[in-house]
Structure 1
């Protein structure tokens, strides 16, 4: 009896050969650069127009509030509508608003109301774009390449943070409207890249049924489920999963401390001997270490348990902050931010892979948005906490407070439950 050998399986093409991923990455890289630059350029332009620092501060407040309010609705829309259409809508809306800002700035002084409105539209677009892009990446990238894809996406953001401040300063010096013109072009280019996605990516929708029976069941379920219950499906999924709810709670405390640390560094170093130059250098170093962390994330993910990955960043930062408290060193204080920035993208990439392999497609957008909503809910209070601490305590004592906070989170992270295996039971108890 003769047997026929099975045909050899062809190896997965490298990620650089994935046309859809390349289009998504290039388009969003341009968009990230433009957005990072505009959020730096807008305050400069408003200050040059005679607005007070308190008035200009409304830009940051509007951005944080909009992000918090729009986070869960963005995930809900991602799970109900075509991803590509949502991304195009977000890009085109931002293109139009920054085209108006560009024209207005070239013709005269930019009103504060228009600047705040532009920030709100830009943040709404970002909250609509991000979950849809993550869902398409999950669809077009093979599972074994997801760690690399997510790490490259994070590296893209850190690279924008490194390049944007210098570019914004140069462009504002040439013309106040030039940064906004670049941003307008960036959103147009991103829209073109989204438009050119393959038919598979174009048709993507998280809960799209693939059979007649599934379509009838989806239609029936859609008529019965109230809007509020559908909107909060991601929150309920997170609450039922011991791993996800623990991650969300740890991230809430960590994000609050990280945001407070950034502002404590800015205020503390600016008032110290280094001044604004030391602040700029510290933030640039943190951005560079974040980029390095994104590059090495896949390597570390394959070798360390997720509990160790989550604990490493706050433990490193806590130790450096304890050194800053003991020695009074501003360098050690600044180094703690760099240490957190180095390991934060590693954790982000690891959790991103867990989410795309664990969460069912039909609630992926709402679940990731729910985790973001919960984990960032205390972030707006970070700058206030930093200001109050520095008003009452010297920088060395503030370092001790931060050291205790980060070390507590590091210890708790070691007891993080392990994520369920891919293809295992979901939080609700059913198989994927």
Structure 2
């Protein structure tokens, strides 16, 4: 039995990793500079909130069409076009800054165009990862990617702030260059040829499918294919519920803790420590994730993290001392990446190659809509009740999620990628309403 090439020697994986790292670092640097630019231009925090709101709406609206594009067009070309468009938009923005023609309207327009051109990049890169990394290395690959993202989240804002201090134009110029560097990495990729979609069924079945397609146009079928796959697959349904509720609750917890430790009697250092410890914990957790995934089955790992988080968050309400909060934040930040990586790797293995873009986009749709509501809920509860009460309520939500995970049939069906015998997911069949393993879509899709 031949062993797969180590990730460190996998040329395609290293190029894909570098492309993501470069584009993400540039985006993080520009993101921290954007509020500084808006505030210097308009002096209004509301205007910056408007920019973020528009960008969030665009990412949600563009998500499903982006998934269709990723499945219908060569993924490498999709990534190249995304990088090229984003580099062009950033370059135009830099020119506008140099010529003193920046306005709030231009900032919003650039955000909209960047959001649209960025939407296909993530699903395309995720689908490409599955094609260049064998199933038994997916957990390690996602762990390396998670460590990269955690490091960039820590370093990116510092780089952006430092560049902005030298010149307000520099972070956006670096962003444009980062997209060009990412495109160079993508251009050098030589991924294996994509497998052909499942073969057609007999003529009688094809006629029935054609009649259904006539009543349900192809573009509408393409937009809803990912949603139907998630609905028909118990494990994908579980990941959707888990990611939506977990992201909502944890985003609310972070805002609640920041409110507690930025109030009277606190120092700015307290808030900085919270963010730094959380980021460092995620980075350490991503480093430990492969080992934890080898020691525990995916289901046991997800349950262990879910129950520990359900205990740690309410414990934060017991004492508002910064050392206590930092200790609990560190505990939850270190363990969470292992479960996230296990779920992400299992999902990548579960989704058939020709549906990767559409299912990934569909799976991200609900979390993208719900997660921004977490900070809003945290603000309302903190103002009307108290921070400890809010933490207890969010802890209660995590307790319910842990109970749901324990009883979930979908989580029991999570593939264990530690077993090389775990083959590729079964191909979806026309007219299927869902198999016992939940790995089929309601109808054949190409």
TM > 0.5: yes
Question: Is contact 1:307-1:416 (8 Å) kept?
Answer: no
Tell me, in whole angstroms, the C-alpha distance in 1 between the residues paired with 2:70 and 2:349.
17
Q: Which residue of 402, 409, 415 maps to 2:407? A: 415
Is structure 2 residue 141 aligned with structure 1 residue 135? no
Give the CA deviation at 1:283: 1.0
Question: Is contact 1:314-1:406 (8 Å) kept?
Answer: yes
Tell me, in whole angstroms, the C-alpha distance in 2 between the residues paired with 1:114 and 1:311.
47
- 1:98-148, Cα deviation, whole Å (9 max, x unpaired): 111222223326312222222233333332111111111111112222211
- 1:270-295, Cα deviation, whole Å (9 max, x unpaired): 22433432222211211111111111
Give the CA deviation at 1:15: 1.1
Change (3 A) 1:10 1:412: closer
* SS in structure 2 of the partner of residue 328 of structure 1: coil
The aligned residue for residue 143 of structure 2 is: 151
The aligned residue for residue 285 of structure 2 is: 293
Tell me, in whole angstroms, the C-alpha distance in 1 between the residues paired with 2:403 and 2:226.
28
Question: Is contact 1:307-1:415 (8 Å) kept?
Answer: no
The aligned residue for residue 419 of structure 2 is: none
The aligned residue for residue 259 of structure 2 is: 267
* SS in structure 2 of the partner of residue 232 of structure 1: helix
* SS in structure 1 of the partner of residue 3 of structure 2: coil
* SS in structure 2 of the partner of residue 414 of structure 1: helix
Is structure 2 residue 35 aligned with structure 1 residue 29? no
Q: Which structure 2 segments of 5+ residues have no match? A: 416-421, 441-446
The aligned residue for residue 237 of structure 1 is: 229
Change (3 A) 1:223 1:325: closer
Change (3 A) 1:148 1:332: same
Paired residues for 1:250-399 under 5 Å: 250-399=242-391
Is structure 2 residue 189 aligned with structure 1 residue 197? yes
Tell me, in whole angstroms, the C-alpha distance in 2 between the residues paired with 1:223 and 1:409.
38
Paired residues for 1:167-246 under 5 Å: 167-198=159-190, 200-201=191-192, 204=194, 208-209=196-197, 226=217, 227-246=219-238
Give the CA deviation at 1:90: 0.8
Q: Which structure 1 segments of 5+ residues have no match? A: 1-8
TM-score (norm: length of structure 2): 0.85
Is structure 2 residue 95 aligned with structure 1 residue 103? yes
Tell me, in whole angstroms, the C-alpha distance in 1 between the residues paired with 2:116 and 2:135.
29
Q: Which residue of 20, 43, 46 maps to 1:51? A: 43
Tell me, in whole angstroms, the C-alpha distance in 2 between the residues paired with 1:129 and 1:335.
36
Tell me, in whole angstroms, the C-alpha distance in 1 between the residues paired with 2:104 and 2:42.
10
* SS in structure 1 of the partner of residue 310 of structure 2: helix
Compute the RMSD of aligned alpha carbons.
Answer: 2.7
- 1:241-275, Cα deviation, whole Å (9 max, x unpaired): 12221221122111111121222233332224334
- 1:288-320, Cα deviation, whole Å (9 max, x unpaired): 111111111111112223333323344333333
Change (3 A) 1:274 1:23: same
